[in-house]
Structure 1
Amino acid sequence: MSRLALVTGGTRGIGAATARLLKDSGLRVVVSYAGNETSAQRFREATGIPAYAWDVSDLAACERAVERIVAEHGPVEVLVNNAGITHDGMLHKMTHDAWQSVIDVDLGGCFNMCRVVIAGMRERGFGRIVNISSVNGQEGQLGQANYAAAKAGMLGLTKAIAREEAAKGITVNAVAPGYTATDMVAAVPQNILDGIIARIPVGRLGQPEEIARAVLFLVADEAGFITGATLSVCGGQHMD
C-alpha cells in the first residue's frame, strides 16, 4: 500500500496544490482545514481527497484528528505542515491577540502536528516532515512581526527535530515560499504588491504548483539524505 500523506491547510492555495500533486504522484492523501466548509466541500468533490476540520493550534484536537485518520486510513508517514494565518499590523499598533493567534497557529500548529505523528514515525523507522515557512521568515517584513517570527521559528524547529530524528529514518525539512498567487497574497493592496514583485528577480509571483513540486521532492523515499534543510522557492528574492 502506498504511503499516507497528511497536508494541513490543504484545501486551498499551496496546500491544495501540494495535496493534488502528492496524490497524482501515487501517495494516499488526506488534508485538514480550519473551518471553511464551502472550500473544503469543493475540494473534496474536485479531488476525491478526504478533508477533516480541526484547529491545529489545539494539541488535543490534533491528537483526536490524527487518531481518527490512522483508524480510517492507516499511519501518517508524510506530514506537510502548511496551515497558517496572517494578522498583519505594525508592531506599535499590533495587539497581543494578533501576535498570539499567529504564533499559536503558524508555529504552535507546526509543533503540535509534529508532536502527534512523531512517535509513530519513530516506531516504523520512517517519516517525512516538510514545514512550509516563508521568505518573510528569512528576511522579515514590514507589518508582519508576528508572521515573520512564527515562520522563522519554524526554521529553527525544523533543524532541531531533524537532528533528533535523523537516526530514526525521519527527515525534517522546510520549504520557504516567496510571494505566491494565493488568496492570502491576493488580499495585499495592488500598490504594495507591485512593489513586492519589483523586488523578485524573476519578476512575477510564484504559482502554488511550483511550491508543491519542492515538497514532492523532499517527501520522496529517495530524499533520505536531505534533512534539516530549507529550500527557498521565491524567484530569487532571498539568496543565502
Structure 2
Amino acid sequence: MIIITGASRNIGKYLFERYYGVVDVIGTYNTTKPIEKYKDNIIYKVDVCDYESINHFYEDIKSRISCLTLINCAGISYNSYAHKSDPNEWKKVIETNLIGLYYVIRVFLPKMRDQNYGRIINISSVAAQKCTPGISAYAASKSGLWGMTKSICIENGSKNITINNINLGYVRIGMGVEDVPEKYQEYIKKQIPSNDFCDEKDIYNTIEYIRNTKYLNGSSIDLNGGLI
C-alpha cells in the first residue's frame, strides 16, 4: 500500500494519479478537494497539523495497511523577508511542513514496526541548502527534516523500516517554480547544468528507487539537476 499526503495538488497529485489503478493507494487532502472521480475510501480529508485528525484517518484504514510506503508531500510555503514577516504565518509553515509530517509518521510507525516493514519518503527541498530571498520559514521547515530523518532511521532500521528525504530542486509543478519570480527563474536556470527545471517523472523514478532499495536509509537525495 502507498499513502500520499497532500495528494490533491502539485507533486502529491501527480504521484497519486501515477499510482492510482496500479497499486493500492490512498491520498489525503485538506483545503483543496480533489476531483470527484475518486471514491471516499481512496481520498480522505486530513489536517496534518491536527494529530487527532490523523488518528481518525488511521483508524479508518488500519485494517487495509500492508507493506506500507508513506510519501509525505503535504506542505505549504510563505514568502516574506524575515524582517517583514508575519510571525503567525511563519509558524504555520513549521507546524505544517515539519511538525505535521512528524505527526503523520508518529501515527503510522507502530503499524510499520508490527509488520516489520515500512518505507517513509519525505519531500524536502534544495531550499534548505541554497535559499532564495523570502523563504526563511520554508527553508527552516525542510532542513529540520534532515535531523529528524536520521534519528528515526536509527530507531527503526532494525525493523526493516527505511526513511529518506528527496531534496527537490526546482520542479515544473508545485511550489518549486511557481513561487519564484519569473526574472529570478532565468537566473536559477543558468546555475543548472541542463538549463532546465526538474521533470516530475524524475521524482517518481527516485521514489521507486527508494522503495526498492532496502539499504538506503537515513539519506537525503539531492534531485536538483546539479544546481550549483
Aligned position for 1:126: 117
Aligned position for 1:86: 77
The alignment yields a C-alpha RMSD, in angstroms, of 2.0
The answer to whether the 8 A contact 1:90-1:142 is kept is: yes
Deviation, structure 1 residue 230: 1.0
Aligned position for 1:44: 38
Aligned position for 2:16: 19
Letter of the structure 2 residue corresponding to residue 20 of structure 1: E
Aligned position for 1:162: 153
Aligned position for 2:215: 225
Matching of residue 5 in structure 1 with residue 29 in structure 2:
no
Matching of residue 56 in structure 1 with residue 48 in structure 2:
yes
| Distance in structure 2 (CA, Å) of the matches to 1:23 and 1:136 | 30
Structure 2 CA distance for partners of 1:43 and 1:85, relative to 1, 3 Å: farther
The answer to whether the 8 A contact 1:201-1:235 is kept is: yes
Aligned 1:48-197 pairs, distance under 5 A: 50-71=42-63, 73-75=64-66, 77-184=68-175, 185-197=177-189
The answer to whether the 8 A contact 2:67-2:117 is kept is: no
Deviation, structure 1 residue 49: 8.5
Long gaps (5+) in structure 2: none
Paired residues in the alignment total: 227
| Distance in structure 1 (CA, Å) of the matches to 2:128 and 2:72 | 15
Letter of the structure 2 residue corresponding to residue 17 of structure 1: Y
Structure 2 CA distance for partners of 1:76 and 1:7, relative to 1, 3 Å: farther
| Distance in structure 2 (CA, Å) of the matches to 1:191 and 1:44 | 38
Deviation, structure 1 residue 123: 0.8
Deviation, structure 1 residue 202: 1.4
Output the TM-score relative to the length of structure 1.
0.88
Letter of the structure 1 residue corresponding to residue 138 of structure 2: Y
| Distance in structure 2 (CA, Å) of the matches to 1:188 and 1:168 | 41
| Distance in structure 1 (CA, Å) of the matches to 2:134 and 2:184 | 12
Aligned position for 1:213: 205
Deviation, structure 1 residue 78: 1.0
Structure 2 CA distance for partners of 1:218 and 1:51, relative to 1, 3 Å: same
| Distance in structure 2 (CA, Å) of the matches to 1:95 and 1:108 | 19
Deviation, structure 1 residue 229: 0.9
Letter of the structure 2 residue corresponding to residue 224 of structure 1: K
| Distance in structure 2 (CA, Å) of the matches to 1:141 and 1:49 | 39
Deviation, structure 1 residue 178: 0.5
Q: Secondary structure at the match of 1:88?
A: coil
Output the TM-score relative to the length of structure 2.
0.92
Bigger CA drift: 61-70 or 163-172?
Answer: 61-70
